[in-house]
């Protein structure tokens, strides 16, 4: 029987022909931890009797979730990470460098066919680069750092075939929200999601990262795509390594194949407090907004900031709204400065904060007040997610968030895009 992308990658890394349901021990190509998970991993590393990491070039820690530190407790945890990295001679990305899921792809260490674990649930982002990348906890991270391998249950795969062309003003974020709404928050639990079809091929690599990033919101272990010319061109900016793209076999077995025609898709919004509580924007237009957030590992890339700036250019945000912008990395920030995007955002009234996870996780930078509505480009709207369980979070594309920041209420960006043109 043929194999899916994930079955092929797990085969090449375990030395056995892997099919769904098998349990394999696979070699790891790269390992990442962030400041919410690494301190516990360091403790587990010591508890396991770890001395050195298996390969100093294949492990990195990133300080991005509470960056810079907002209090002494977090500072102590950051200090623990810095000391560990120095002692083990591994790379640390310190404050200001950005979000792990932007930095690791920018490092050139991830590409087609690679197997990566990260102690962050959105590590599945790198599936956009045709890698098998998955989120693990701190203890798995510690075991991986010591042994350079980890056990995996080979998942079944659901194939999402997206036909047609996304209409203007409708983006990768809208597409993935729509798919999550369709299959629900546990629709792909214990599985991998392969995204394919001409609508996916038409997306930029950034857009594909937005989709793969949110695979975990349908419960999936990984969200994968095939590599194409765009993927290889994107990678060539960051590394000279040559990769071997992995495609699924014609006769691969899928648990389910779901087909969609996305030609008439409207902008989508996930309503509080569930990511799968998704609706067409038309049902929510006019809902008041108090805070708007552009950034995060889902939508903090240059393309996202560019879209937002095109809507905000020459205009002022509504005086009753705070707009917080967190670029995904220092490189994104520098590129956005060079293009004049940051100038546009700041002139419109945005508060630009340190590249990093910023307000997404509620540990610093922009905690909403009671009874406030937030519209955000992030990937989770769980109750309390942004630090206040009495606030309501709506998830949307950067275009929808920018348009809503201008009017102070949920606004369909397609109208504004027409005006821009």
Partner 1 sequence: MQMTGKAHKFDMDDINTDYIISGKYKFKTLDMKELAKHVMEDLDPHFYSKITAGDFIVGGNNFGCGSSREQAPLAIKYADISLVLAKSFARIFYRNAINTGLPLVECDTDQIDAGDKLEVDLSAGVVKNLTKGIEIKTKPLPDVMIKILNDGGLAAHFRKHGGFNL
* Contact between 136 and partner 1 per CB under 8 A: yes
The answer to whether residues 116 and 16 touch, using CB atoms and an 8 Å cutoff, is: no
User: Per rule CB under 8 A, is residue 140 in the interface with partner 1?
Assistant: yes
CB of 353 closer than 8 Å to CB of 64? no
The correct pick among 151, 256, 343, 369 for binding partner 1 (CB under 8 A) is 151
| Helix extents (H) in 186-329 | 198-201, 205-213, 229-236, 296-299, 302-312
Give the binding range for partner 1 (CB under 8 A) out of 35-43, 99-107, 206-214, 284-292: 35-43
Residues 257-316 that bind partner 1 (CB under 8 A): 274
User: In angstroms, what is the minimal distance from the CB of 379 to partner 1?
Assistant: 10
Candidates 58, 65, 208, 331; binder of partner 1 (CB under 8 A) is 65
- Establish if 88 lies at the interface with partner 1 (CB under 8 A): no
Q: How many residues bind partner 1 (CB under 8 A)?
A: 56
Q: Which is nearer to partner 1, 150 or 212 (CB)?
A: 150
Residue 62's nearest CA partner among 116, 103, 16 is 103
Contact range with partner 1 by CB under 8 A, out of 41-49, 223-231, 289-297, 343-351 = 41-49
Q: Return the number of the residue (194 or 303) whose C-beta is nearest partner 1.
A: 194
According to CB under 8 A, which one of 137, 167, 197, 408 is a site residue for partner 1?
A: 137
31-37-42 Cα angle (round to 5): 75
Residue 393 tokens, joined: 């979070």
CB-wise, 77 or 200, nearer to partner 1?
77
Q: How far is the CB of 61 from partner 1 (least distance, A)?
A: 14
Q: Which stretch binds partner 1 (CB under 8 A): 4-12, 108-116, 214-222, 248-256?
A: 214-222
Q: What minimum distance in Å lies between the beta carbon of 118 and partner 1?
A: 8
Write the Ramachandran bin of 21: left for phi over 0, alpha for psi from -120 to 50, otherwise beta.
Answer: left
Piece in contact with partner 1 (CB under 8 A), picked from 45-53, 263-271, 296-304, 400-408? 45-53
Binding status of residue 58 toward partner 1 by CB under 8 A: no
Cα–Cα distance measured from residue 152 to residue 154, given in angstroms and rounded to the nearest whole number: 6
> CB neighbours (10 Å) of residue 180?
29
Q: Does 221 participate in binding partner 1 (rule CB under 8 A)?
A: yes
Q: What angle do CA 229, 230, 234 make, to 5 degrees?
A: 115
What residues from 355 to 414 belong to the interface with partner 1 (CB under 8 A)?
A: 361-363, 380, 382-387, 389
Q: Which of 298, 269, 300 is nearest to 282 (CA)?
A: 269
- Cα–Cα distance, 295 to 358 (Å, whole number): 8
Q: Which of 28, 38, 3 is nearest to 251 (CA)?
A: 3
Q: What share of the chain is helix, strand, coil (3-state, %, to 5)?
A: 40, 20, 40
H or E stretch covering 334: helix 330-338
* Contacting residues toward partner 1, per CB under 8 A: 23, 25, 35-37, 39-40, 43-44, 47-50, 65-66, 71, 73-74, 77, 119-121, 123, 135-140, 142-143, 146-147, 149-151, 153, 185-186, 189-190, 216, 219, 221, 274, 361-363, 380, 382-387, 389
């Amino acid at each position: 029987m043929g194999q899916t992308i994930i079955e092929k990658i797990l085969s090449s890394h375990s030395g056995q022909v892997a099919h769904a349901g098998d349990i394999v021990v696979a070699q790891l190509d790269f390992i990442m931890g962030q400041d919410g998970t690494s301190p516990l991993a360091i403790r587990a590393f010591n508890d396991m009797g770890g001395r050195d990491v298996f390969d100093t070039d294949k492990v990195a820690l990133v300080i991005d979730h509470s960056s810079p530190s907002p209090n002494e407790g977090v500072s102590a945890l950051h200090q623990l990470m810095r000391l560990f990295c120095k002692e083990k001679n591994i790379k640390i990305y310190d404050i200001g460098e950005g979000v792990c899921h932007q930095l690791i792809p920018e490092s050139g260490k991830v590409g087609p066919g690679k197997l990566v674990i990260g102690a962050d649930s959105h590590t599945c982002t790198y599936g956009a680069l045709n890698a098998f990348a998955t989120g693990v906890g701190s203890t798995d991270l510690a075991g991986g750092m010591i042994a350079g391998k980890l056990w995996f249950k080979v998942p079944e795969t659901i194939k999402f075939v997206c036909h047609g062309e996304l209409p203007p003003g409708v983006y990768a974020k809208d597409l993935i929200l729509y798919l999550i709404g369709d299959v629900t928050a546990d629709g792909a639990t214990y599985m991998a999601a392969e995204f394919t079809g001409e609508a996916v091929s038409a997306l930029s690599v950034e857009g594909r990262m937005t989709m793969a990033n949110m695979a975990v919101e349908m419960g999936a272990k990984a969200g994968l795509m095939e590599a194409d010319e765009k993927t290889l061109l994107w990678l060539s900016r960051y590394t000279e390594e040559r990769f071997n793209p992995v495609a699924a076999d014609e006769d691969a077995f899928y648990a389910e194949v779901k087909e969609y025609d996305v030609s008439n898709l409207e902008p989508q919004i996930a309503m509080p407090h569930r990511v799968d509580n998704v609706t067409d924007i038309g049902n929510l237009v006019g809902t008041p907004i108090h805070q708007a957030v552009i950034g995060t590992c889902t939508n903090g890339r240059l393309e996202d900031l560019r879209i937002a700036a095109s809507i905000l250019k020459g205009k002022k945000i509504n005086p009753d709204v705070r707009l917080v912008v967190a670029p995904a990395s220092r490189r994104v920030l520098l590129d956005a400065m060079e293009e004049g995007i940051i100038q546009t955002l700041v002139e419109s009234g945005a508060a630009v904060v340190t590249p990093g996870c910023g307000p997404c996780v509620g540990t610093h930078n922009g905690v909403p007040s009671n009874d406030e509505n937030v519209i955000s480009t992030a990937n989770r709207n769980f109750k309390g997610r942004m630090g206040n369980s009495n606030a309501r979070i709506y998830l949307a594309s950067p275009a929808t968030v920018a348009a809503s920041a201008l009017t102070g209420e949920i606004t369909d960006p397609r109208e504004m895009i027409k005006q821009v043109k």
